[in-house]
Amino acid sequence: MKLWFGLALAAFALPADAAVRYTATVLTTPEGLNMQAFGLNNAGEIVGGSDEGDAYQAYYRSSAGDYRALGGLGGTRSTAGSISNNGTIAGQARSGSTGATSLPFIIPPGGTLTTIALPANGSAAASNDVNDSGVVVGTFQVPNGNSRRNVAFRWSAATGMEVNSDGFIRDARAVNAAGDAVLADIDTAFRWTADGAILPLEKVDGSNPTSVYVTAVDINDAGQIAGVVGYADDDFFDRTEVAVWGTDNRLIRRAAFEDYLGVIASGLNGAGDVVGSANDLKGFPDGSFIERRTAWVWLGGGTVLDLNTLTDRPDIAFQNAFDINDRGQIIAWGLKGGMRVDVLLNPLAVPEPASWALLIAGFASVGVTLRRRASSVQTA
């Protein structure tokens, strides 16, 4: 689909004859516990954590399926949130002291866990992402009158701690190989360039930006950014869409969700594929609703697909997809018998050319070209 002059709008679809596209591997630690997966690299290595009774332990899983506890700072909680393509890991942990706050850490390839020092007034830190150069981004809290507020940080051993200059920006959520990061606040999002510039991402309704909210969650090495755009509707719920921005910070495509609200984007790969979740609202005859989160994948800017229709595990109700790598592998979680299970989804072989032709024809039927600045979000 050509995107030279306009914005491509796709739609959420539930194919009636969806074929299995992914095989699922359940992530289980040697102790037989579920491993919650938060980060995935192009080698298929996974990091996350596992609830071990009174403690929560950071874990690593190799591409061969071997598990390793990553340790911590002597406290009862440690979590690994990201792993770069060369195996650098970032996360956060508590020390063993009473009332200890969480501190960010980094583990270089083949190295040991090293704490990232916060400013004297900093506390409650979280590391969200790390690149191959060891640049870590995340958030921590600082005093704000009688309370505390979040600020974004970017850190490396070479440059030290860099804190965003805008007090309203709360979270640095992802970083790419060049060191560019994405920043998110309550209703705005920015590109934080490696040289320190903070550039706003285009909103949907340029004529009335105060009614629009934007959030960003990931950035790939090509400089594309994934997130969500939307605005307050007259109904009880806001309308939201998944979106991708180009290197010029302008929207290049977005996806509408019919009968799905509370859309969340979680991960973006080098091909521009996006994963996330949405609230599936099913109405009852009496007018009440039941809400169920549904994991989805948006491949190549075509139709957004429900992951529950695409795996070999119909016994798992997939609720959220966290990340997708350049090989198309996805980490996601769902419910099996009422219990959470996290999985690695491995894509099956690419369809034959004839099958791709049918898929592309289907994508074309839902794609439309909009003017450069869309006047509204087209979600039902």
pLDDT tens-digit profile of 355-376? 434 333 443 333 332 222 223 2
DSSP 350: P
CA atoms of 340 and 333, how far apart (whole Å)? 7
CB neighbours of 26 closer than 8 A, spacing ≥ 6? 341, 342, 343
* pLDDT tier at 8, thresholds 50, 70, 90: low
Q: Is the pLDDT of residue 88 over 80?
A: yes
Q: Residue ranges of the domains in the chain?
A: 201-367
Q: What percent of the chain has pLDDT over 70?
A: 77
Please say whether the beta carbons of 194 and 168 come within 8 A.
Answer: no
Matching residue, tokens 């490696």: 194
pTM, full prediction: 0.85
| pLDDT tens digits, one per residue of 42-81 | 999 999 999 987 789 999 999 999 999 999 988 889 999 9
E strand or H helix that includes residue 361: helix 353-366
Question: What percent of the residues of the chain are helix, what percent strand, and what percent coil, each to the nearest 5?
Answer: 5, 50, 40
Closest CA to 71 of 98, 88, 49: 49
> Kind of pairing, strands 251-256 and 7-13?
parallel
Q: Spell out where 232-371 has E strands.
A: 239-245, 251-256, 260-268, 274-283, 289-298, 304-306, 317-324, 330-336, 339-347, 368-370
